[in-house]
Amino acid sequence: MLALDFPGSKKLVDALDDAIRRDCTTAITDALRQTLCRLMQDASVSLPDCVYEAASDHYARREIYTSAELGYSVIAMTWGPGQGTSIHDHSGMWCVEGVWHGQIEVTPYELVERDQDLYRFESRGTMLAGPGSAGSLIPPHEYHTIRNPSDDAVAVSLHIYRGAMTSCAVFRQVKDGWYDRDQRQLSLDQTH
């Protein structure tokens, strides 16, 4: 179901459908990454204006498309200046993320130790991604943070998930590099 209509929407959906029809996770995410990079450079595909409008108090999540047949979902995220996430996972789902506009800072984390209800992570470096670049997260390597490093510009990223991304685990530091875990329900922002 196409939640938002925009120039090139059919081209985007057809290309993503084709990429997702692979037989293993790595082949799917590789094909989606390459397809997304190509689509982001295609002037005939233009995301709707609403995805460039930041929310003042949180990063915005807007549904672009959900495939009833193939099960994947596409969410545009709008990051106001300095907005970002805490360490989180994708509830065991793979994801391909591409930067459509602006810059995004991504820091992957490795879960290195667990002690009952506490978790210890180590950063695996921070990457600055610009327009037209894409990456993937495949469980168990799904822990990360995302943020817009700009003080004055909006950033937009497109996220393709294996299924509907309605919740995720988020981690909050409680002591000396140890984090507790909370389950967060994710909502969608209004489109117009």
The model's pLDDT over 15-58, given as tens digits with 9 standing for 90+, comes to 999 999 999 999 999 999 999 999 999 999 999 999 999 999 99
Average pLDDT over residues 148-171: 96
Is it the case that residue 192 has pLDDT exceeding 80? no
Could you report the per-residue pLDDT of 102-125, keeping only the tens digit for each?
999 999 999 999 999 999 999 999
CATH topology of domain 9-185: Jelly Rolls (2.60.120)
Whole-number pLDDT of residue 191? 74
Strand partners, 178: 120, 175
Q: Count of CB atoms within 10 A of residue 97's CB?
A: 25
Of residues 177 and 133, which shows the higher confidence score? 133
Prediction pTM value: 0.93
Q: Cβ contacts of residue 89 below 8 Å, gap of 6+?
A: 139, 142, 143, 168, 169
Question: Is 80 exceeded by the pLDDT of residue 11?
Answer: yes
Residues forming beta bridges with residue 155, ordered by sequence position: 79
Check if the beta carbon of residue 140 is closer than 8 Å to that of residue 61. no
- Amino acid at site 6: F
